[in-house]
Structures are given as C-alpha cells and as structure tokens.
C-alpha cells in the first residue's frame, strides 16, 4: 500500500505502485525517494510514517517524521527552516552511536520539514510488557546497564531526550539495516556508523525536541514529553539531564508492576508507593530498590545528577542480594522512609474503650437488620468477610442495592442505632482494636488531618491496582485499620 501524507486527503490509502494519490492527486513519492507505506505515530509537532527508499535496489525501509508549522507566517517559517537545517547537522552526529537511530536525510516539502531516520526492527518495551507481562528485577538491572550509557552519550552532546518511556525504547529483533554509503546521506554521516546487534536496546524519538529547541520554537516554559513519566521540573517547562533519569526510574517501576505510573503515586505523602504494586511472588532487592528510589526523587538535588553517577552505583554492586521484607507494612516503613506508626501497645491506653459483653438484646436495629451473621464472622475473626458483611448491612440499612457506593449523604442518613450496633460488635470481637469509635478517636487525635489519619491506621492514600492489597485483614493490622 502507498499512503498519502496530505492531511486533507479524504482517502489516503493507495495501491502499491501508484505515483499519485487517487483521491487528491498528491505525489506519493517524496523527494524522488520515499514512498510512504503507513502512519505509525502522531505527536504534538507532527506525524511519523513508515516509508521505503524507492531509489535503493533493496528498497530499504526507513522512518519519516513530518514536522508541521502551520501557524507560522512565511518569514518566520524561512527562519525556522534555516535554523532547523543547522540543528540537523549537529543531531546527525548522534547517529554514530549503535543504539541511536541514524539520521539519513532531511528536506522541506509543502511548508513541512521532514527527517528520515533508520528503521529499527524490533519490539518496544511497551509491546514486550503487553506480550510477556511484568519485568523481573534482573531485566530491570540489565535495562539500566544498557540504557544509561546511551543517556550518558546524548547528555555529553548537550541533548536531553525529554520523553523516556517504554514506547520509546526498542529491543532489536533483527540485524540492523546497513544504510552506509547511500548517495543522499548527510555529509560524512555515511562512513562510520557502527551497526547495532540483535537483542540490544535502542533509544528512539528524541530528535524533534532537540531540533525545535534549536529553532527557538521551544523555550523554557514549553512542556514536551509524556506527563505520567515527566519529572516535576519538566512539567514546569525546565528539562535537565536529571529529568531523563527521573523518567527512566518511572519507566522501570512501570515495567516491574505493569501499573500506570500515576496510580502508584501517593499524593498525600508526596512519594512513590511502587513496592505495594509488585505482582504476587515478585520482589526487588534493597540495593536495586534504593537506586530506583533515588531516580524517583521529586527534588532534583536529591536525585542522581548524571547517568555516570548511576552507572558507578551499578558497577559497585557485586551481586543482587534479595532480602524482601516480611510484609507490605514493614516494606513501606523501611523503603519509603515514612514515620514509624505507634505500636498497638502504645495505643491501647489511649484509644481502646472498655470491651463490652453483648447479648442478642443489644444487637439493636432501627430498620430490622439481622446481625447474627456479622457477629459470627467477627467472633471467628474472619475479618475480610466481616468487612464485606458490614458493607452489605450499611447498604441494607439505607435501602440501597448490596455493595453500592456510599456517599456523604448516605452516611448522614444511617440510623444511629445500627451504627452503634456495628461499632459494638467490631470493638468487642477485635479486642478493642477496630470500630467506628476507635477511628473517630484517632481522627480527632491528629486534629482531623486525613493524611495523618491514613498513616496512623495504615490506609493507602493513592489509587490501588490490586484492591485486596489495600487492607490487612489480620490481627496485627494497625489499630483502627
């Protein structure tokens, strides 16, 4: 198939050998070389296409990036195009690295600028994640060892990628295409390219950001990148080498968990909780975890400043020692460096009311609720089932469908008699650890600060991918949990 790049074309698909578009009559071979096969991507500044070089005997595939400036007046466009060509010559030097796509050519056509780049045959890490599932620690370790030297190389050339994410990292599955000594390549770019190897990582899609920065169209204050992977300073328009390292850290925890990055960020405590999302049976050693934690620091001064720093830490580690914490609670305390919660013993005197002895006559309901099942589940310490039964009872007391969402107005309309009965049951059979009254006293003790309350009772304050990990249905759970 041949694809028409005219944005106004009503039907861009054309037969393989067509010279002009059958719908809009636009030429289908650009610069006498490049036949577009299909669109493979689109971003803020243009589109990306898969193409073939019709002038080469083997019709070598390549990637063609179309950069649009539809809002520029003619004079501004000519200035931008001139600066663009100047920046291209500098960017072409990066293609000498075997793990960066070589820049083959650039040209102007119909008020658009075009880059022609090496086609990398392989799978992105996003595709690998979708096909194979979450990455293991050893795979993350290898990714860091391969990708950090690439970042070191581009940072030494005063280039910041700005968009490190799984979609922009490809693992070669076929040998690199030999584009050397093609007559239309840029300058001396054709003679010294070292061909990449099967299985190695390739970093793609950073050229446009660099080029547009050089033209003056991107200045401090302009945000480029994918929000979920961006460093805080980058969201405010200021990108640094350390910003790429932050995005690399986010990429790693996404690959380890297969969970969207923002779902792993605790906005109340302003920290990442990625360990809580590790799949069952998976663990990360303390040394690797410490590296990821430092990559993910919100403050630039607390983060690794250069790729070299991270590489030095990697090299200093002789082996991967796995020593996973015994449970999620201790993991959060050790690795997230949160303030230690008071022990159960220290809270007993403050928050635990006198345990009451209940009989049937005290299981009062204003709306005819039967509490026998909840009493039994609590008596045998089936905390998870008792929690679910409590939800069912609350919905029934409100006349709502079972397991319905409860709003603030619903809570205000619950009968006091039933709330008191539920509270009495939980307090009695938990030995005074759990119940509405206990939670109320803890909430008041922290001056009704919800974030501090959540830390006190062990509740997570961020989106949870695995709902059953949010609560600890055990006797050792924090008071009020």
**Catalytic residue list:** 163
- Among 419, 374, 378, which Cα is nearest to 392's? 374
The Cα–Cα gap between 362 and 274 comes to 45
CB atoms within 10 A of CB 422: 23
The Cα–Cα gap between 371 and 360 comes to 9
Please answer whether residues 310 and 252 qualify as being in contact, where contact means their C-beta atoms are separated by less than 8 angstroms.
no
The Cα–Cα gap between 453 and 474 comes to 19
| Helix spans in 108-193 (H) | 125-132, 137-156
Residues β-bridged to residue 29: 35
Please answer whether residues 325 and 334 qualify as being in contact, where contact means their C-beta atoms are separated by less than 8 angstroms.
yes
Contacts of 58 (CB under 8 A, 6+ apart): none
Handedness of CA 46, 169, 94, 295 (dihedral sign): positive
- The phi and psi torsions of 112 (rounded to 5 degrees) equal -120, 155
Under DSSP, the state recorded for 20 is: B
Contacts of 326 (CB under 8 A, 6+ apart): none
Contacts of 400 (CB under 8 A, 6+ apart): 406, 410
The pair of structure tokens assigned to 169 is 């990292």
The pair of structure tokens assigned to 97 is 């690295």
Number of H helices, E strands in the chain: 16, 13
| Helix spans in 177-240 (H) | 207-215, 232-235
The Cα–Cα gap between 289 and 249 comes to 10
């Amino acid at each position: 198939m041949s694809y028409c790049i005219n944005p106004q074309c009503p039907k861009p698909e054309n037969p393989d050998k067509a010279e002009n578009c059958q719908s809009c009559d636009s030429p289908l071979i650009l610069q006498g070389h490049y036949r577009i096969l299909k669109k493979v991507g689109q971003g803020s500044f243009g589109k990306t296409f898969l193409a073939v070089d019709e002038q080469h005997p083997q019709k070598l595939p390549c990637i063609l990036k179309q950069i649009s400036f539809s809002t520029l007046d003619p004079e501004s466009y000519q200035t931008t195009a001139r600066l663009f060509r100047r920046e291209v010559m500098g960017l072409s030097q990066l293609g000498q690295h075997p793990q960066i796509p070589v820049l083959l050519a650039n040209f102007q056509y119909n008020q658009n600028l075009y880059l022609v780049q090496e086609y990398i045959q392989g799978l992105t890490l996003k595709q690998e994640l979708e096909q194979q599932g979450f990455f293991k620690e050893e795979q993350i370790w290898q990714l860091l060892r391969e990708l950090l030297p690439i970042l070191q190389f581009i940072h030494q050339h005063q280039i910041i990628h700005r968009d490190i994410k799984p979609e922009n990292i490809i693992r070669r599955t076929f040998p690199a295409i030999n584009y050397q000594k093609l007559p239309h390549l840029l300058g001396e770019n054709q003679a010294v390219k070292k061909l990449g190897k099967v299985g190695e990582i390739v970093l793609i899609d950073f050229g446009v950001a660099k080029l547009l920065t050089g033209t003056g169209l991107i200045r401090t204050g302009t945000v480029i990148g994918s929000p979920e992977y961006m460093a805080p300073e980058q969201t405010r328009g200021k990108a640094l080498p350390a910003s790429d390292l932050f995005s690399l850290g986010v990429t790693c925890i996404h690959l380890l968990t297969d969970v969207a990055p923002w779902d792993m960020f605790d906005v109340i405590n302003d920290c990442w909780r990625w360990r809580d999302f590790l799949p069952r049976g998976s663990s990360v050693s303390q040394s690797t975890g410490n590296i990821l934690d430092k990559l993910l620091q919100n403050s630039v001064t607390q983060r690794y400043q250069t790729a070299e720093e991270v590489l030095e830490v990697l090299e200093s580690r002789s082996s991967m020692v796995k020593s996973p914490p015994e449970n999620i609670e201790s993991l959060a305390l050790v690795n997230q460096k949160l303030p230690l919660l008071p022990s159960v013993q220290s809270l007993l005197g403050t928050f635990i009311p006198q345990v009451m002895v209940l009989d049937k006559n005290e299981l009062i309901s204003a709306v005819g609720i039967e509490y026998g099942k909840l009493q039994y589940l609590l008596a045998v310490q089936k905390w998870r089932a008792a929690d679910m039964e409590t939800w069912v009872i609350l919905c029934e007391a409100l006349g709502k469908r079972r397991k319905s969402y409860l709003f603030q107005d619903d809570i205000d309309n619950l009968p006091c008699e039933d709330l008191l009965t539920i509270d009495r049951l939980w307090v009695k059979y938990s030995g005074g650890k759990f119940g509405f009254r206990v939670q109320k006293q803890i909430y008041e003790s922290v001056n009704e600060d919800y974030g501090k309350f959540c830390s006190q009772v062990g509740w997570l304050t961020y989106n949870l991918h695995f709902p059953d990990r949010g609560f600890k249905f055990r006797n050792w759970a924090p008071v009020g949990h």
